[in-house]
Amino acid sequence: MILGTHISNSSRCFYFREPPPFEGGGRGRSGVDVQFFFCYLPHSSFRTTGGLMSKPQLPIYAGPILQILQMAKRSLTHLEQGGDIVKIGSGFGDLLNDTDIRADQVMGRCIQKAISKSCEGLVARVSVEGLGDFYVRKKGLWVCVDPIDGSLNYKTRGRTMGNPYTAVVTVLSKTEGATFNDVVFAAVLDLRPKSSDLWYAWRDGRRDSKTQMMAWLNDEEISTSTEIKLDPGSQVIMTETYYPANREKLLKLFDGQKGNYSRVGSAAYEMAIVSSGNAIAFICCSQKNHELGATQLLVRAAGGVAVDWEGNSIVSRPYDFRAQTPIILAANQPIADELVSRMRALGL
């Protein structure tokens, strides 16, 4: 609900009261109802953690979206009881027992409304994990949001920095018949208060342009690792072990081989660090498209590849926000080829 509006020459500001349908309500640290504050900046100028952005390639909607994510992150620190479970069994596919927490829904509703308002005239549809789609107009951009990826890490956070939990935004150039190649902008924000890490990527989707992609971490251009030989003993491989089927296949894939096979509990984070060269690859037989839509662009824009377990590029695959995809995100083609070769030899 919009409580109040302030309009100035430079921005429009709205105050959102926390969406209501939670039994017992909720209060912030001040003892009053939590309000989420979003300021919609003009398209011509915006700031991120790194200062005024000077990237002429970025589309005009990128600034407001990144600003909304940063403001939502700051508001999250004032939300108490955010880890309370509000729904169980809301998932799909392998995720039928997924759990929604209060912070997911609060963040999701506010981000959904804020993006719809700030990008008015550009965005046609805003989809949020766990919520219904919000339609703004018939034609335009499709924005997909995962408010908190790594909910367990958020629930179990303590006085330490803890394991990462992230907010993910995927922007597609169309709402109907979209493929992964229609993803034109992506952002992954580390929501931990002590971290300022923000990955984002852009692809020029204009028909008359040469396809160009770029990726950044904290406003610095990034690239994937240049190592072309797989060596788990000296490289980090992100391995999604949440799903039993994926875990069993990974055990066979690297059977008897020492290595740095890691999982931190936020798939978006695990995939994003492939784009910035911190990991050599990410492997999952059933990755949620909530995060994959954004992170496959991050990795590809940074010089990596995104293929399925057969070795085929996923760019022409239909994009379904509420579906899962077998994926290998690799730093480069030779790394992907070696992983696929191992899988074929083992019949995985």
How far the first Cα of the chain sits from its last, in Å, is 50
Residue 83: the pLDDT is: 63
One DSSP character per residue, 43-87 reads TT--EETTEE---TTS-TTHHHHHHHHHHHHHHHTTBTTTT-EEE
Query: Does the pLDDT value for residue 89 go beyond 70?
Result: no
CA distances from 149 to 2, 48, 155 (A): 26, 21, 11
CB 313 within 8 A of CB 342: no
pLDDT confidence of residue 2: 29
Which residues have C-beta within 8 Å of that of residue 312, sequence separation ≥ 6? none
User: pLDDT tens across 110-133, in order?
Assistant: 999 999 998 888 999 999 998 889
- 25 pLDDT exceeds 50? no
The whole-chain average pLDDT of the chain stands at 81
Strand 213-217 with 198-203, pairing: antiparallel
Q: Among candidates 278, 291, 287, 110, which has minimal Cα distance to 188?
A: 291
Q: Is 211 helix (H, G, I), strand (E, B) or coil?
A: coil
**Domains defined for the chain, CATH in brackets:** 2-221 (3.30.540.10), 236-346 (3.40.190.80)
Which one has a higher pLDDT value, 12 or 89?
A: 89
Each residue of 35-72: pLDDT tens digit?
333 333 333 333 444 444 445 468 899 999 999 999 99
* CA distances, 257 to each of 227, 234, 268 (Å): 19, 12, 26
What pLDDT sits at residue 160?
83
Q: pLDDT at residue 194 above 70?
A: yes
State the DSSP code for 94.
G
Per-residue pLDDT reduced to its tens digit, 211-256: 689 999 999 999 999 999 999 999 999 998 888 888 999 999 999 9
